[in-house]
Structure 1
């Protein structure tokens, strides 16, 4: 069996369409698949861990990271037992004249469940042509900084279904896909840049509760503050401060899903003031903690 490849054509000529979007919370050891879908699927992990298999490739997808696969790719998503996953599930087409989304029954009717043996088959690949750069391949697994606010906007538009929502969804999806392409174009030097800031990233990971200053992180890497800030932003797509805040928000989301009250989650996240926690959470995510807990949908 040979893998299928789609050359999607020139990026600026595409008409992307959102089919369906939801925020899904998996129970421990919950399994989706093995299955194949009739469109494209983007999985963005908000909290927890997902073991995701695309064809013969298996990865543990962590918060802030994505998986992408397309038509007829046999896949399986497993919510881990020790850290159940919560993720945005976005079904879409890269290029179709109609911007009209699908209903849930329409989406489910197109999913084909398979046997585990088919997971070893080849996965469909995609590339987009960008003038001045040539063909850009879309990876199956990647970090996607800045994606969550765009996905939240899509979810709100999809659920509200106000007049013109399909047109707005097309615009939001176009923005998301353009950000994805730009991310891939910038990844050529990403590895070298990431190595330069590795001590800072390791410190933030090991001590997430520490109120790290940019100067302190720069010192760990042996750079002055201005140079460190520039390298950090080029490597991660965001400033050191925003990176740290995003990590705290991921931890807060995980706690909100685990605890039965917002008060308990705020306390475990290290906030002594519930009011400040709620205000900070909304400023960073666009939602109140209560709204975040209520919007989950298990598909």
Structure 2
């Protein structure tokens, strides 16, 4: 009985973590979890990072109907890619796109650290941000479209599930290794994840990639994503002394794009 109670408590905690992560990374109406007393859960978001790859899996699966419809209608590959990108933006509320635009504006629009952070906090999008959004969106749409022509529907869905899991499972590395560039903001309020939870997220994302893509392609894509996240972290440390929520969003978007480039190349 004690073992069953312990297992039940563990499962409830895991589901609560996944709910919190889904609320943070998507716009899915999963609802914020409550504790046993019926109060809203107050745990730091850093505790949920192990489940980020699972959120990526969910996003990939939710794109399946869109991809099925596009391929069933015989739409051109670019149209298929654009529809997939639109669906992903709606599912995530353009959270990561907003981060990419802010980072492009901040890093490209000033020399002083404080001025960069000020620009990144501004809700207006400048020329650097607009260009970055347009180029990345076009590139992602064209890559997904190209994959839709090279792969069958099932392989395409499994590839996107892997990409979304890897890009979200590796992002917490930046939260673990680098300091927060400002003391306030959504990212710093999430706190720093433990090594164990970060490692579990990495393990899950790598396992998902291996299972869905195969050991060799999965390993290649994982290393590409890891290198991209490391490069973004290096640049952010040089530019603003650490990370912000915008930097984390940028890591997700750019690692997704690099993963898609790698998969397109591997698909021949």
TM range (shorter): under 0.3
Structure 1 or 2: more helix by fraction: 2
Highest Rg: 1 or 2?
Answer: 1
Structure 1 or 2: more strand by fraction: 1
